[in-house]
């Protein structure tokens, strides 16, 4: 439903302070959509091009996450079972160990360590075979982490995996000591042997570039440059570059070693069938925290791969196995129809907004925000959103005087895209929903525009 500015009633034209901010930023008003509505009386304060489909960036996550909160429920938990695929005799597994991936978005190394401790408590001391990982829950094409923007080591570019470990990422720690630089990694990886950078002098400037890191061998990264003593300790988050099986092997190798279980096999893809003959024996099942808890991590820090895992889970729960993105999108679209939520032009793609294909209208998203406001699940949904000036992606953004802690909203940024969607509480107690979508080459200059929208929405002079 394409719109033009000329088609809008004059009463709903943009307020002057917003027009001035757009001009100052060099952003065309016709490249934007803005909706602000009073939640108590339903009156729109701004309604600019509400039905024009636009690239939403990460505000698209609100559609996926609100649908998941309803379809999965706040207490939904992902379960990852582990099986003995061969007999265990005198503490020795005479063959392979198997995991069935469930798409858990928050399966961490410490969770696998607790599983390993449980296995040791059951008497397991050695595994003679491999670890078989069953990823049959998903049917996805090969993922190229550099395809979106040419940054394959960026954690936001990690792709979904039915047996995703630690978000598919690593956190390197570099610490300047008295004579040398120490480098270690989380999660712990078996065989990790870095060559640290030289200890340098002077202030800590461009420390990543100066370290001259080579991650061709991620278990043996080489730092050809230096790390200044003034840097103290720094963290470097990286996507694992060599595939999910290699990461699982390095993590499980460290985990089993820490738990006192000897294992020197490999991680391989395969099928784990509880009904096999002889039957595979269930040893333990890891259960994730409830979705309502994970929702806060996902929304406040805009975690792309966690959102994709949740999106794919919607297909699995609807019986669409193996899951893929089109099936997940179909589930969400059908649910929106049952809720009478009209979202013309909606294209969910991967469900997280890291996409040049996804489309969403500000008017459609604002309708969803109003539905969430009136839902019994409203407290869980709103509490998961970043709080302006306090946490998440809004901790250091939109510092509007008098509105700290008064805005719960999701941000979205891509090259040429800036978005904001959420709820504003005004000083007089009124609450308003708001959505802003800017698709313009100068979108990165649009934060003052969003500030002007907030000031208008709050009725600030």
- Dump pLDDT digits (tens) for 312-324: 999 999 999 999 9
Residues 184 and 193: their CA atoms lie apart, in Å, by: 9
Output the pLDDT for position 11: 36
Q: What angle do CA 289, 292, 295 make, to 5 degrees?
A: 95
Q: Could you report the per-residue pLDDT of 355-408, keeping only the tens digit for each? A: 999 999 999 999 999 999 999 999 999 999 999 988 989 988 877 777 778 899
Per-residue CA distances from 175 to 17, 19, 97, 179 (Å): 48, 48, 37, 11
Q: How far is CA 354 from the centre of its chain?
A: 10
Q: Does the pTM of the predicted model rise above 0.85?
A: yes
CA quadruple 24, 25, 27, 29: dihedral positive or negative? negative
The domain spans of the chain are 5-75+291-458, 78-288
Output the pLDDT for position 127: 98
Residues 303 and 312: their CA atoms lie apart, in Å, by: 15
Output the pLDDT for position 54: 98
Q: How far is CA 9 from the centre of its chain?
A: 39
Residues 34 and 45: their CA atoms lie apart, in Å, by: 10
Residues 174 and 43: their CA atoms lie apart, in Å, by: 54
Domains 5-75+291-458 and 78-288 share a fold: no
Residue ranges in the chain whose pLDDT is less than 50: 1, 5-11
CATH code: domain 78-288 is: 3.50.80.20
The three-state secondary structure class of 195 is: strand
Q: Is 311 left (phi over 0), alpha (psi -120 to 50) or beta?
A: alpha
Per DSSP, what are the bridge partners of residue 132?
Answer: 98, 268
E strand segments, 155-224 = 169-176, 181-186, 198-200, 213-214, 222-223
Output the pLDDT for position 401: 72
Output the pLDDT for position 461: 54
CATH code: domain 5-75+291-458 is: 3.40.710.10
Output the pLDDT for position 58: 98
Residues 146 and 8: their CA atoms lie apart, in Å, by: 41
CA quadruple 151, 156, 161, 163: dihedral positive or negative? positive
């Amino acid at each position: 439903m394409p719109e033009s500015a000329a088609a809008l009633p004059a009463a709903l034209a943009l307020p002057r302070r917003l027009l001035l901010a757009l001009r100052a930023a060099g952003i065309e008003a016709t490249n934007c959509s803005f909706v602000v509505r009073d939640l108590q009386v339903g009156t729109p304060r701004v309604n600019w091009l509400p039905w024009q489909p636009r690239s939403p960036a990460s505000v698209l996550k609100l559609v996926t996450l609100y649908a998941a909160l309803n379809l999965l429920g706040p207490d939904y938990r992902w379960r990852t079972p582990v099986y003995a695929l061969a007999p265990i005799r005198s503490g020795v597994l005479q063959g392979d160990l198997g995991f069935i991936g469930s798409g858990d978005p928050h399966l961490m190394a410490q969770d696998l360590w607790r599983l390993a401790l449980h296995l040791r408590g059951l008497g397991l001391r050695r595994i003679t075979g491999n670890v078989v990982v069953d990823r049959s829950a998903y049917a996805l094409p090969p993922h190229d982490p550099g395809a979106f923007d040419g940054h394959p080591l960026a954690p936001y570019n990690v792709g979904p995996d039915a047996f995703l470990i630690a978000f598919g990422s690593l956190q390197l720690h570099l610490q300047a000591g008295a004579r040398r630089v120490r480098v270690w990694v989380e999660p712990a990886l078996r065989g990790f042997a870095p060559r640290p950078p030289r200890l340098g002098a002077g202030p800590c400037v461009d420390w990543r570039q100066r370290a001259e890191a080579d991650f061709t061998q991620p278990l043996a990264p080489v730092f050809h440059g230096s790390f200044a003593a003034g840097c103290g300790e720094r963290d470097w988050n990286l996507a694992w570059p060599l595939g999910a099986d290699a990461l699982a092997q390095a993590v499980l190798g460290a985990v089993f070693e820490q738990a006192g279980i000897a294992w020197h096999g490999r991680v391989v893809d395969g099928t784990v069938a509880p009904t096999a003959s002889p039957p595979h024996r269930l040893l333990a099942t890891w259960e994730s925290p409830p979705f309502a808890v994970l929702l806060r991590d996902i929304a406040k820090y805009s975690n792309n791969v966690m959102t994709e895992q949740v999106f794919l889970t919607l297909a699995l729960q609807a019986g669409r196995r193996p899951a893929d993105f089109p099936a997940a999108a179909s589930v969400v679209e059908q649910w929106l129809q049952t809720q009478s939520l009209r979202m013309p032009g909606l294209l969910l793609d991967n469900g997280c907004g890291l996409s040049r294909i996804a489309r969403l209208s500000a008017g459609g998203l604002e309708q969803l925000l109003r539905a969430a406001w009136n839902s019994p699940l409203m407290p869980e949904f709103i509490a998961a959103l970043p709080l302006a000036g306090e946490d998440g992606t809004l901790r250091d953004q939109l510092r509007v005087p008098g509105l700290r802690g008064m805005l719960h909203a999701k941000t979205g940024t891509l090259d040429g895209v800036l978005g904001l969607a959420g709820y504003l509480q005004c000083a007089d107690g009124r609450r308003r929903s708001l959505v802003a979508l800017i698709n313009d080459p100068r979108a990165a200059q649009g934060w003052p525009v969003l500030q002007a929208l907030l000031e208008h929405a709050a009725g600030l002079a």
